[in-house]
Copies of this chain bind each other. A is one copy, B any other.
Amino acid sequence: MRLPQRLCRPAPLALLTGALLAPVLSQAAEGMWTLDNPPTALMRQELGFAPDAAWLSKAMRGSARLAGGCSGSFVSAQGLVLTNHHCVAECVEQLSSADKDHMKNGFLARSRAEEQTCPAMEVNRLEAITDVTEQVKAATRGRDGVAFTQAFNAIKATLTAQCVGADAKTQRCDVVDLYHGGQYKLYRYHRFQDVRLAFAPEQAIAFFGGDPDNFNFPRYDLDMGLLRVYENGQPAVVKDFFPVNTRGPAAGEAVFVTGHPGSTQRTLTVAQLEQLRASRLPESLMELAEYRGRLAQYRTQGEEQARTANAELFYVENDFKVLKGQLEALNEPALLAAKRADEARLRAFAARQPQLKAVNGAWDAIATALQNYRSFRTLHGQLERGAAFNTQLFGIARTLVRGAAERSRPNAERLPEFAEAGLPAVQAQLLSPAPIYPAFEKFKLSFSLEKMREHLGADAPLVHQVLGKDSPEQVAARLVDGSQLADVAVRKALWEGGMEAVRKSQDPFIQLALALDEPARALRLRYEREVESVAQKNAELIAQARFAMTGPRVYPDATFTLRLSYGKVEGWKEGDTQVPPFTTLGGTFQRATGADPFALPASWLAARERLDLAKPFNLVSTNDIIGGNSGSPMLNARGELVGLVFDGNIHSIGGAYWFEPARNRTVAVNAAAIAETMDKVYGARALLDELQGR
């Protein structure tokens, strides 16, 4: 699935991105384009149509970003937001309890009064894009290492604070790094923080086929959820939204996806790709695989274990499939050969241009930084990135400890995650009333502590400090049982009490986070100095060379910011087999077995006779998307919503590194199936009328 961005588990090297390796000649449908630089000529050439400025402006304001890491779109004038079920699943779980399982039974608000507030959900709408490249580059010019990072953070904090102004409650601003330092843009969003759940089908049909079918096609999933944003207690009034075309698209029809692809690594240097292939990906995969095994077995231990670990297992299986596909892509000899050839071409170009003299050492500087990072990568991951402490409670403790320290400093000197403009979002997350399950937190924490010992060795100082003479299980139990951080009021008091309250706290997680803060910060500083700043600075240089060689009609790597992708509804050839672009509602019943994950919910079995089984259900198109695009609208040339993106096929996973036009496909729910099933399975007439503007 095209999962929420935060679930991509960004690891150290996500930051270590490199040169701007966009293709010299774009292939059909390739590209995740910013809305201020659309590939108009290409679209006209390949589709016979290109959107105009009004179309693009409406597409921008009709698109939504879910702060958790998904995409979505406004689909009515009264604030309805359409996205995927797996993007609202966390809310659905949080609104559930042992008695009332909305994941299992679905959720439908039959009136506005029945719509329920999602405890930790925020929806953003992009309002404006401003170029701030010159300001950012001027601030860091001539600086290295820590000075570079500090200046970089300071200018970003200043720009975003200015942009948000006094209206932090409804405004959000980010400095976006495009082309790895080739451009910096200020994105301003409108924030919707009162988000309520209106409709979610049963998970059994939203994720029919489960992990076995995930990232595959043919597919039969109603992976949809409807939210409604409120302002001042009333449904928000929305001017720009996408009317739903309940006929869906035709085979071969041109379709456009607007959404927030999370991250791609198409412009990494060869050294970075090789490091991913040799260590990063295999290590992450082994860890995920073992965690997956633990979780799957934990879920068999009882109904409550099954319920509380459900979402985590889903994310882990999804991530696993993604990273596995990425590793397979990197092991395709053709991929690295193409990357090597491209890098060699760019290096030769840079070497010939006197004005690009500074660029020559950039690739080797990044490779050296990576090599150096090997010596402290494990400890950095365990301690500063917190891999050793896989529990929400430690995350909360660290936010409280660091938040107290950072908020007492001037805005421009803080760690960037505590810059003034972002504090409302930090606080909203910290004080979310979403439930925390102690048994599950112990399970997760004891496993991560065990892995810490495995990765660092039983004799490492951190292992002695954290475990002492106890086992991981004993330490996890002591910490979780002794902590009160699951109580929102306790967190609120500590957040508001600042460093004094934090220092006085007897909470074992607060004490642990305090005790580890100094060595953890030292590792962070070392990482910024020796790795991150080197990568950022040199990637900027490589981007400069790339622009000089190819000009500005290229698209930047994905950054969880709004992008436009164009394409067509089209199947592909899998070996000798032509895969058709559509599945039907009828196919679902043929595929169903009665056993999870191929068991249909009772509502579907009951509605079978009423349904038009010939109606299309899911579809594939040639659009270029990636994780983070989950929930994106699929639009036709008239700007109507004809589909709801929820996945890619198995070949789309390699899209992290390159675009394969022949096989990479986007997977979407057909708008025709949304209408048919909301009507005949769920009796959700009022919502369906609203979607159709009636």
Task: Tell whether, in the assembled complex, residue B458 and residue A596 are in contact, meaning their CB atoms are under 8 Å apart.
Answer: no
Is there a chain B Cβ closer than 8 Å to A36's Cβ?
A: no
Contacts of A469 in B (CB 8 A): 593-595
Chain B residue at minimal CB-CB distance from A210? B458
Query: Which of B216, B291, B327, B453 contacts A293, CB < 8 Å?
Result: B291
Asked if A389 is at the interface (CB within 8 A of a chain B CB), the reply is no
Q: Which of B213, B282, B331, B593 contacts A285 (CB under 8 A)?
A: B282
Q: A-B pairs with the 3 shortest C-beta distances? A: A293-B293, A297-B297, A289-B289
A-B contact pairs, 8 of them (CB 8 A): A211-B454, A212-B458, A213-B458, A216-B457, A282-B282, A282-B327, A286-B286, A294-B297
By beta carbon, the residue of chain B nearest A375 is B575
Q: Is the CB of A471 within 8 A of B596?
A: yes
Asked whether A292 is an interface residue with its Cβ less than 8 Å from the other chain, the reply is yes
- Residues of B close to A216: CB separation below 8 A: 457-458
From 596 to 622 in chain A, residues with beta carbon under 8 angstroms from any chain B beta carbon are: 596, 598
Known: A212-B458, A285-B289, A289-B293. 10 other contacts (CB 8 A): A279-B331, A286-B286, A286-B320, A290-B292, A291-B293, A293-B296, A294-B297, A297-B297, A301-B301, A469-B593
Give A386 to B301 CA distance when docked, in angstroms: 28
Asked if A287 is at the interface of the complex by the 8 Å CB criterion, the answer is: yes
Interface centre among A209, A286, A453, A457 (most CB of B within 10 A): A286
A278-B331, A293-B292 given; A471·B212 CB < 8 A: no
Chain A: number of interface residues, binned into ranges: 35 or more
Choose one: B290, B593, B594; the contact of A289 (CB below 8 Å): B290
Chain A, 239-259, CB within 8 A of any chain B CB? none
Chain B residues with CB under 8 Å of A301's CB are: 301
Query: How many angstroms from the CA of A471 to the CA of B458 in the assembled complex?
Result: 40
A210 to chain B, nearest CB (A): 9
CA distance in complex: A468, B594 (Å): 11
Residues of B within 8 A of A303 (CB): none
Complex contacts, A211 vs chain B, CB 8 Å: 454
Chain B residue numbers with a CB within 8 Å of A315 are: none
Which residues 421-458 in A have Cβ within 8 Å of B in the complex?
453-454, 457-458
Q: CA of A635 to CA of B345 in the docked complex: distance in angstroms?
A: 60
Task: Tell which of A295, A457, A458 has the most Cβ of chain B within 10 Å.
Answer: A458
Residues in B with CB closer than 8 Å to A282 are: 282, 285, 327
Which residue of chain B has the shortest Cβ distance to A275 in the bound complex?
Answer: B331
What is the copy number of this chain in the assembly? 2
| CA gap between A278 and B287 in the complex, in Å | 18
Are B293 and A471 closer than 8 Å at their CB atoms?
no
Nearest-CB residue, chain B, relative to A317 = B454
Which B residues touch A285, using CB under 8 A?
A: 282, 285-286, 289
Whether the pair B297, A471 counts as a contact (CB closer than 8 A) is no
Indicate the member of A282, A301, A469 with the most B CB atoms within 10 Å.
A282
- Per-residue B-contact encoding for A41-57, CB less than 8 Å = 1, 0 else: 00000000000000000
Q: Which residues of B contact A320 (CB under 8 A)?
A: 286
Q: Which residue of B lies closest to A293 (CB)?
A: B293
Least CB distance, A441 to chain B, in whole angstroms:
16
Q: Which residues from chain B contact A287 at a C-beta distance below 8 Å?
A: 289
Given contacts A282-B327, A286-B285, A286-B324, contact A212 B293 (CB under 8 A): no
CB neighbours of A294 from chain B (8 A): 293-294, 296-297
A212 to B449, CA, bound (A): 12
Q: Are B457 and A595 in contact (CB under 8 A)?
A: no
Q: Across the interface, name the chain B residue whose C-beta is closest to A598.
A: B458
Tell me whether A170 is interfacial, beta carbon within 8 Å.
no
Interfacial chain B residues near A292, Cβ < 8 Å: 290, 293
A470 within 8 A of B: yes
**Least CB distance, A110 to chain B, in whole angstroms:** 34
Decide: B212 and A457 in contact? CB cutoff 8 A: yes
Interface residues of A in 504-544 (CB under 8 A from B): none
Nearest-neighbor residue (CB-CB) of A463 within chain B: B212
Q: In the assembled complex, how far is the CB of residue A470 from the closest CB belonging to chain B, in whole angstroms?
A: 5
Q: Within the complex, which residue of B209, B289, B471, B593 is in contact with A470, where a contact is CB–CB below 8 Å?
A: B593
Query: C-beta contact mask, A200-224 vs B, less than 8 Å → 1, else 0?
Result: 0000000001011100100000000
- Chain A residues 246 to 282 lying within 8 A of chain B, measured CB to CB, are 278-279, 282
Q: How far is the CB of A382 from chain B (nearest CB, A)?
A: 14
* A291: B residues at CB distance < 8 A: 293
Residue numbers in B under 8 Å from A598 (CB-CB): 458
Query: What residues on B are CB-neighbors of A331 within 8 Å?
Result: 278-279
Interfacial chain B residues near A453, Cβ < 8 Å: 212
- Distance from A286 Cβ to chain B, minimum over Cβ atoms (Å): 5
Query: Which chain B residues border A457 with CB–CB below 8 Å?
Result: 212, 216
- Compute how far the CA of A468 lies from the CA of B211 in the bound complex, rounded to whole angstroms: 18
Report the bound CA distance from A296 to B294 in whole Å: 7
A429: min CB distance to chain B, Å: 29
Interface check A298, CB cutoff 8 A: yes
Tell whether, in the assembled complex, residue A595 and residue B470 are in contact, meaning their CB atoms are under 8 Å apart: yes
